[in-house]
Amino acid sequence: MKEQEKKEFSIEDAKWAKKTLECRRIVSIINEYGVDEFKRAKIIELLAFELENRDESLVIIEESRKVLEKTQKPDKKIIVT
């Protein structure tokens, strides 16, 4: 039987893991509200506006809008006032 390798994790790895866990908890809370595909895509789009890197933000916004177009019912229009 081979001896398993022990991986050493840095402080940065631990911080990354903690942040990832926090993000998963946020997603879990959002899903508890019973969100559908449209709401998920809209939340992603709105969060993309908060990114510091404009180019990355635009890519995510563009892709989320494609999903929004597919999930909206064609006969209904959304009016925001």
How confident is the model over 36-66, as pLDDT tens digits?
999 999 999 999 999 999 999 999 999 999 9
Q: Which pLDDT score is estimated for 32? A: 95
Q: Quick one: which of 27, 66, 24 has its CA closest to 43?
A: 27
- 3-state SS class at 5: coil
- 3-state SS class at 51: coil
Q: Which pLDDT score is estimated for 2? A: 57
How far is it, in rounded angstroms, from Cα 41 to Cα 66? 9
pTM more than 0.75: no
